[in-house]
């Protein structure tokens, strides 16, 4: 290096520059010639190399042989020849420091300094260690990477969070909904529900059903201790039970418990079912009591009433020796009380098929029974009435039973025939005995009565001849009484004939108009107590038992007279012919017959139980005979009547 080279500005010598450079904080070296003789190296550069100043003046490669396999020398050569500056950033440099190969990174520059002719006369080498910056950058990069990772992680976390949040929101919504749901359920529950909190049983929730039972409004009780809100319970055990449940954590249940509750006008007695359920916190402590209350007053009262009814019914059936039965066509099951079972020889069995029951019925009666059952299910009123005979198992005696029943339909439309069976064997025998007796007596009475009648007629003739009017009068009255008695005896005889199947109808053709005319004359001559009107009956030919038809009409007129006050009107009229049938009606303005009695007056020996009738004589057989006679003619008798207004009996006969 030409250190003596002069710069244009004298006094600013190369030495000065070198001195200045030696203070430069930047590592600096200067090389000259193609061999890169180290002309200058400041402390900084010597530090980079890990060498002392002894290297100055030596060719570079000699001073730092470790650079052999690194590009520096070649690069310097290139700069030397081309004169172009080479600078690089962050390049690795390996040197031996204290015999240890050390790798560092540098920004360095080889700058060719050229003379006026453009020839390179030295190379200025500056270098700046970048390891710390690099580390810093690396750190930053690392940090950035970290941050990036962190950001990514955060993003993922955020995403997760947001999805968790959505989940949470959804759960919250569901929770809200389910809370609403629970609230609605509690609000609308048909049983009373209340939630009481803490040892004081503060009323937190009380649904409308429980408020109704309590007789309270929500505003009166909410937030108050139960005992304070409902003072009507003083002296009753409810609050004590609540405390017990709260303290013991044991649920309590009461069935059909009688409690006095608040009512508009004081207290009322109610029957309730209740449950007191402790409510636990997550750590197992009792925090309150859930109350469930159901009022069953009406049901219990109804049940008790029906139990009472049932008891009374059982008593009545036992006392009346009634067998009860029911028959369900859907299942074909037949059953009843113990008495029924014993009659049908079925004790022990719960129920049986109808066929089993039928086998206990007399063979001749079975078809009738089956028909009556079918009829009751098909008819609009569902009535069932029949008398039939059953074998008495284990007893040679047969039993005559009277069945009365009715078809009932449950809410599903399922039909059952329910009813009672009465053993009328003895009753029928009594009636038979009575009939036999009456038949016998009547028969015996008939002969003397016929003689009596004959003698009276003789007496009448004598009295007429002698002109003894008072005697005539008495004889006429006697004759009338004998006639009455004969009619009565005839009725009894008819009954016994009817029963023995000996009552025959002797049908002959006759004019109904004429019969009515005779009847009119006869009636008007005998009866003077009432106003009797016979409307004209057109002449109609009937083929019937004239005597018996006359008997029926006599009977109806006789009843009209018997059961209506003196001087009232009795009208006998006939209808025009409809459907080949003719009818005669006897109408009175008498006491009338109730609807219930109307159904029974045609039964044998039936008389209406009426204190007013106490004085009116009769046996309750007149209408029974009338009905039988009408039916023997394929006709019928119809009654229409209103109590205290009057009655109308119509005999209807086919032409």
- From the list 274-282, 325-333, 390-398, 618-626, the region that binds ligand ADP by CB under 6 A is 618-626
Which of 61, 60, 58, 19 lies closest to 42 in space, CA to CA? 19
- Please identify, using beta-carbon distances, which residue of 44 and 622 lies nearer to ligand ADP: 622
Per-residue tokens: 107: 């920004």
- Please identify, using beta-carbon distances, which residue of 311 and 481 lies nearer to ligand ADP: 481
- Please identify, using beta-carbon distances, which residue of 419 and 622 lies nearer to ligand ADP: 622
Least separation in angstroms between residue 453's CB and ligand ADP is 23
Per-residue tokens: 287: 């925090």
Which of 397, 500, 389, 493 lies closest to 441 in space, CA to CA? 493
Least separation in angstroms between residue 638's CB and ligand ADP is 13
Contact positions with ligand ADP (CB under 6 A) in 621-650: 621-624, 647
Contact positions with ligand ADP (CB under 6 A) in 564-593: 588, 590-591, 593
- Please identify, using beta-carbon distances, which residue of 39 and 589 lies nearer to ligand ADP: 589
Beta strands at 192-197 and 202-206: parallel, antiparallel or unpaired: antiparallel
How far apart, in Å, are the Cα atoms of 208 and each of 193, 254, 279, 450, 551? Answer: 8, 21, 21, 89, 76
Least separation in angstroms between residue 427's CB and ligand ADP is 19
- Please identify, using beta-carbon distances, which residue of 199 and 620 lies nearer to ligand ADP: 620
- Please identify, using beta-carbon distances, which residue of 329 and 620 lies nearer to ligand ADP: 620
Number of residues that bind ligand ADP (CB under 6 A): 20
Rounded Cα–Cα distance for residues 112 and 351 (Å) = 132
- Please identify, using beta-carbon distances, which residue of 245 and 584 lies nearer to ligand ADP: 584
Rounded Cα–Cα distance for residues 266 and 264 (Å) = 6
Q: Give yes or no for a contact between 632 and 505, defined as CB atoms under 8 angstroms apart.
A: yes
Assess 619 for contact with ligand ADP (CB under 6 A). Answer: yes
Beta bridge partners of 322: 422
- Please identify, using beta-carbon distances, which residue of 145 and 603 lies nearer to ligand ADP: 603
Least separation in angstroms between residue 314's CB and ligand ADP is 34
- From the list 404-412, 423-431, 470-478, 558-566, the region that binds ligand ADP by CB under 6 A is 558-566
One character per residue 52-91, x = contact with ligand ADP (rule: CB under 6 A): ----------------------------------------
Which helix (H) or strand (E) segment holds residue 539: the answer is none
Please identify the residue of the shown chain whose CB is closest to the bound ligand ADP. Answer: 618
Beta bridge partners of 571: 533, 587
Per-residue tokens: 78: 């290139």
Q: Where are the beta strands (DSSP E) in 116-186?
A: 120-129
Rounded Cα–Cα distance for residues 58 and 631 (Å) = 166
Contact positions with ligand ADP (CB under 6 A) in 452-471: none
- Please identify, using beta-carbon distances, which residue of 192 and 590 lies nearer to ligand ADP: 590
Least separation in angstroms between residue 590's CB and ligand ADP is 5
- Please identify, using beta-carbon distances, which residue of 336 and 622 lies nearer to ligand ADP: 622
SS3 assignment for 274-322: EEEEEEECCCCCEEEEEEEEEECHHHHHHHHHHHHHHHHHHHHHHHCCE
Least separation in angstroms between residue 571's CB and ligand ADP is 12
Among 137, 482, 613, 632, binds ligand ADP (CB under 6 A): 613
Contact positions with ligand ADP (CB under 6 A) in 589-608: 590-591, 593, 601, 606-608
Least separation in angstroms between residue 491's CB and ligand ADP is 9
DSSP for 382-428, please give it.
-EEEEEEEEE-TTSS-EEEEEEEEEEEE-TT--EEEEEEEEE-HHHH
Per-residue tokens: 181: 């749901």
Q: Is 36 helix (H, G, I), strand (E, B) or coil?
A: coil
Evaluate the CA torsion angle 437, 504, 523, 611 in order and state its sign. positive
* Residues near ligand ADP, by CB under 6 A: 559-560, 563, 588, 590-591, 593, 601, 606-608, 613, 618-624, 647
């Amino acid at each position: 290096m030409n250190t003596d080279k002069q710069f244009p500005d004298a006094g600013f010598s190369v030495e000065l520059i070198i001195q200045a450079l030696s203070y430069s904080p930047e590592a600096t070296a200067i090389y000259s010639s193609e061999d890169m003789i180290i002309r200058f190296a400041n402390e900084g550069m010597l530090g980079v190399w890990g060498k002392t100043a002894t290297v100055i003046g030596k060719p570079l490669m000699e001073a730092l042989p470790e650079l052999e396999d690194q590009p520096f020398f070649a690069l310097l050569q290139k700069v030397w020849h081309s004169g172009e500056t080479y600078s690089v950033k962050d390049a690795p440099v390996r040197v031996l420091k204290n015999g240890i190969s050390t790798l560092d990174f540098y920004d360095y520059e080889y700058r060719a300094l050229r003379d006026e002719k453009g020839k390179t006369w030295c190379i200025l080498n500056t270098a700046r260690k970048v390891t710390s910056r690099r580390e810093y950058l690396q750190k930053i990069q690392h940090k950035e990477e970290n941050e990036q990772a962190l950001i990514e992680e955060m993003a993922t976390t955020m995403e997760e969070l947001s999805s968790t949040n959505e989940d949470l929101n959804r759960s919250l919504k569901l929770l809200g909904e389910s809370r609403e749901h629970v609230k609605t359920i509690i609000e609308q529950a048909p049983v009373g529900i209340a939630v009481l909190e803490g040892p004081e049983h503060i009323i937190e929730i009380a649904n409308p059903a429980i408020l109704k039972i309590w007789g309270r409004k929500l505003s009166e009780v909410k937030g108050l201790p139960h005992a304070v809100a409902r003072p009507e319970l003083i002296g009753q055990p409810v609050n004590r039970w609540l405390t017990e449940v709260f303290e013991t954590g044991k649920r309590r249940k009461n069935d059909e418990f009688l409690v006095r509750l608040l009512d508009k006008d004081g207290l009322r007695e109610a029957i309730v079912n209740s449950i007191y359920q402790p409510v636990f916190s997550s750590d197992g402590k009792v925090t309150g009591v859930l109350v469930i209350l159901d009022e069953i007053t009406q049901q219990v009262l109804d049940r008790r009433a029906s139990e009472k009814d049932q008891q009374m019914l059982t008593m009545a059936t036992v006392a009346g020796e009634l067998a009860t039965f029911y028959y369900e066509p859907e299942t074909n099951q037949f059953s009843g009380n113990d008495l029924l079972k014993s009659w049908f020889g079925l004790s022990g069995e719960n129920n049986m098929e109808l066929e089993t029951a039928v086998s206990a019925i007399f063979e001749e009666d079975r078809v009738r029974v089956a028909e009556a059952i079918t009829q009751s299910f098909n008819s609009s009123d569902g009535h069932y009435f029949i008398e039939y005979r059953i074998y008495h198992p284990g007893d040679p005696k047969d039993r005559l039973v009277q069945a009365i029943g009715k078809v009932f339909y449950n809410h599903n439309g399922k039909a059952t025939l329910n009813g009672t069976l009465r053993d009328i064997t003895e009753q029928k025998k009594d009636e038979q005995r009575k009939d036999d007796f009456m038949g016998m007596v009547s028969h015996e009475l008939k002969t003397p009565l016929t003689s009596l009648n004959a003698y009276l007629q003789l007496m009448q003739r004598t009295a007429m001849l002698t002109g003894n009017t008072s005697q005539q009068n008495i004889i006429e009255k006697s004759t009338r009484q004998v006639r009455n008695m004969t009619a009565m005896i005839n009725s009894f005889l008819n009954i016994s004939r009817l029963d023995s199947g000996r009552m025959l109808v002797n049908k002959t053709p006759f004019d109904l108009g004429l019969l009515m005319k005779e009847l009119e004359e006869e009636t008007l001559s005998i009866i003077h107590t009432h106003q009797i009107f016979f409307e004209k009956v057109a002449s109609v030919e009937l083929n019937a038992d004239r005597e018996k038809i006359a008997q029926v009409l006599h009977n109806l007129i006789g009843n009209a007279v018997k059961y209506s006050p003196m001087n009232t009107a009795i009208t006998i009229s006939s209808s025009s012919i409809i459907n080949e049938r003719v009818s005669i009606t006897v109408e009175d303005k008498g006491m009338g017959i109730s609807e219930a009695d109307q159904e029974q007056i045609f039964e044998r020996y039936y008389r209406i139980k009426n204190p007013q009738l106490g004085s009116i004589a009769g046996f309750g057989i007149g209408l029974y005979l009338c009905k039988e006679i009408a039916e023997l003619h394929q006709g019928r008798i119809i009654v229409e009547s209103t109590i205290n207004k009057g009655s109308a009996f119509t005999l209807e006969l086919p032409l």
